[in-house]
A and B are shown apart, each in its own frame.
Chain A
Amino acid sequence: MASVDVQNLNKQFGQTPVLKGVSLAIPDGSFAVLVGPSGCGKSTLLRLLAGLEQADSGTIRFGGRDVTRLEPRDRDIAMVFQSYALYPHLTVRENLAFGLRLRKAPAAEIDARVHEASEMLGLGPLLERLPRMLSGGQRQRVAMGRAIVRRPGLFLFDEPLSNLDAALRSEVRVEIRKLHDRLGATSVYVTHDQVEAMTLADVIFVLNKGVVEQAGVPLEIYGRPATRFVAGFMGMPAMNFFDGVVERLGGRAVVTAGGVTTPIDEARFGDALEPGRNVTVGVRPHDVRLVAEGAGVPLPVTIVEALGMESFAHGSLGGSAPFVARVEADAEVKKGDTLHVAFPTMHLFDRLTGASLRTPQP
């Protein structure tokens, strides 16, 4: 088992910089998720950790050992690929045993470990089959089994659930986490799906355009996003954003946006509340409260999405900013109604930089 320490990693493909000075630290035994939109560099970072690409500059350490220039075979890692990458000409058993055979492990040990992995993943009846005779989910498990058998210090997952259907995805997600806990391994997991990130991770690294925008535990990422990007990326449905200006009104700080005025929680945002400051206000649909007419901001509803246990009302705040509000399933909201909403919990971001204006936690 090994901790991962990345310092100032840079990688460029041709003229295009893909990773710009990325640093991160993953404690031993934790499940780290690299999440971000397409092209943010998360897969490249994973491949650099694996040794499948070479960094232009920077260092990578596993458990204190500098592996930056080492070949994959010398890094004590195992990887689960998005497309599983099973050896098509070998049976499941031979796929599992491949890495051990290469290292000339004794036959008895190979058998034992293969047996152990197949027990863990329920691959028993599949051992003599060829990959082309397996379903997607089965192949995925074989891919994981192949990684487990090697008992590496570090597991790398490259979007392993992307090729599975939705139902299978949530099932396998749980399996992966359970496996990680059981093995006590260190795992680095790449995904573009923020639900996977939130549910699997001990620590999340949100990447955007080659830099780490925020690192932290899931609830921190969710509740205290450091940038507008992170705030908008995490959470489903996405956070609502609208531009506004800070003002003082009747002794209290308010933000005016689109002709609507909302009070600001001064405890959270104290330092940044000079009047006239241009801000972007972020409100999660789940943080919206319905209030009586006149007490809140009017929201004319154009579309209602009913999901059964809750509904989402789409409209435009003050007639200009698109806005989604979560309402109870039995609230009987329909198109054409006007809701009145308040934002007890809001996020403020500098309109230019996107940085959060929240007072840092001690």
Chain B
Amino acid sequence: MKYAVVTFPGSNCDWDTYYAVKDVMKEEVDMLWHGDNELGKYDCIILPGGFSYGDYLRAGAIAKFSPLMKEIINYANAGGLIIGICNGFQILLETNLLPGAMLQNKNVHFICKQVYVKLNNSNTPFTNAINKNDVLNIPIAHMDGNYYCDIKTYKELEENGQILFKYSDSNGNISDNANPNGSLANIAGICNAKKNVFGLMPHPERAVEKILGSEDGKKIFLSIRNHILQSKN
């Protein structure tokens, strides 16, 4: 089982993600540079958090033209697993691998804090190790996490079970009070219709050990492992 973490100029969660996969999950992982032209064989590719290209123009807008992104788009279209965390999510939106766009947080502040997210669909490669209706405690750290899409897209997301996580309180109640950034319908993470590309604003790699305050993020990495093992059998 082999993972890859892609570093863009301005990525700053790449090594945290490497640590989570390598040292916590004990999996093999390569660090890839965005300027590479070739993509090796991987079971899962992770686009990490940060500020690729300084968030110039729009968060993730310039990263989509990185040479390696062409290969990553082909990999996604062939069914390869991709998870985009925070800026990685923004890149997946700009690349149209996921529908919708990010707006600035409703309160116009950078928000860095622990939040709760409620699982909305456990039947995906990224959430199969999480109990239905489970609430995870994972941190967010972003300026542009206010997810938006048009009504038609939203209905499709709902009908296809593509909304994987919603911001909630610790009991799993989804309300405006539990919405940190103004995100449409409290959306914290979505996947594509084929369920092989997943983007989320919370940082699971920052919640993989008790000393970090929460181990809940590990459940996402465990889900990915389960899925890869099952698909290899």
Q: Do the two chains bind?
A: no
The interface of chain A, by Cβ under 8 A from chain B, is: none
The interface of chain B, by Cβ under 8 A from chain A, is: none
